[in-house]
Amino acid sequence: MTKKINFYFALFCFVLFADFVSAQKFNDFNFYREINEASASSYYKIKLDNEILGKSNYDFNDFRIFRVEENDTIETPYLLNWDKAEYEYVKQYESIIDKSYKANNTSYYTIKINQRREINEINLEVSESNFDKTLKLEGSDDNKNWKTIKENIRIVGFQLNDFKYTKINFTVSSYPYYRISINDKQSKRINIEQAYTAYNRNVTKKQNYIKDTYIVRKEIKNRETKTYRKLCC
C-alpha cells in the first residue's frame, strides 16, 4: 500500500510540474511578436526590427520561435543571419544653365534639375587632369535666393595616377537649382563640362513570414530554476 501511495504522489508532482511549466511558457518572456501568415511553404526571412533588437541580449542568443497549435506549442529552429546593405542608385545628367567667373577669386556653376526629385549626390566631369579645389554647394527654389547645403567640399585630380575624385555627397535635398562655388584664390580655375545627380539610398526588401509563429525573448533567473527543481523532486 505504501508503494502505491508513493507512486501516485510522484505522478501528481510530475503533472503539477508540467502544468506549471506550460502556464509559465510565455509568462517568462518580456516581449513577443506575432508573425504574419506566409503565402507558401518554404524558407522565409523574418526581419528583426529595432524594437526587437533593442530588447535582446548583446549576442542575440535569446530569440525563440514557437508554432502555436490547438493542443500543442512547438519550438521551431532558426538561423540568424545579417544581411548586407543593398542600395538603389538613380543617376541623371542635368543641365548647366550658367557659368560665371570672378577673376582670381571664384567660379560659379548653376545646375538645373531636369526633373525635380530627391537627390544626395552630384558628380562633376572636370576637363583638367591636375587640380585640388574646395567648393561650396547651395540650393534654390527660384534661382535667386540661395541656401547653403554644404561647405569646404574637396575635389581632386592627379594625372600621374589617372585619378579623379569629383563627387559631392550631401543630405537628401529636392531643390530645382543647385549652385557650385569653387575657390580659385590659390590655383587656376577648372572647367566643369557636365554634371550628373544621383539618389543613393538603402533599399529595404519586403519580407515573407512564417504562419502562426511568435518571436519571443526568454529570461530564466537562477531562483526560478531552483523552484522548478523542487517541484520535480
- Ranges of beta strands (E only) in 127-202 are 131-140, 147-158, 163-165, 167-173, 177-183, 192-202
> In the structure grid, which three cell numbers stand for residue 153, read together?
567640399
**Pair type for strands 147-158 and 131-140:** antiparallel
Model confidence pLDDT, tens digit, residues 94-107: 999 999 999 889 99
Model confidence pLDDT, tens digit, residues 62-114: 777 777 777 777 777 777 776 666 667 888 999 999 999 998 899 999 999 99
pLDDT of residue 171 exceeding 50: yes
Model confidence pLDDT, tens digit, residues 44-68: 777 777 777 777 776 677 777 777 7
How much of the chain, in percent, has pLDDT values that exceed 70?
Answer: 68
The pLDDT value given to residue 63: 77
* Mean pLDDT score, 139-156: 96
Domains, the chain, ordered by start: 2-79+218-232 (no CATH), 87-202 (2.60.120.260)
Sign of the dihedral defined by the CA atoms of residues 37, 38, 44, 48, in that order = negative
Statement: the pTM of the whole predicted model exceeds 0.85: no
Model confidence pLDDT, tens digit, residues 205-225: 444 444 444 444 444 444 443
Residues, the chain, total? Answer: 233
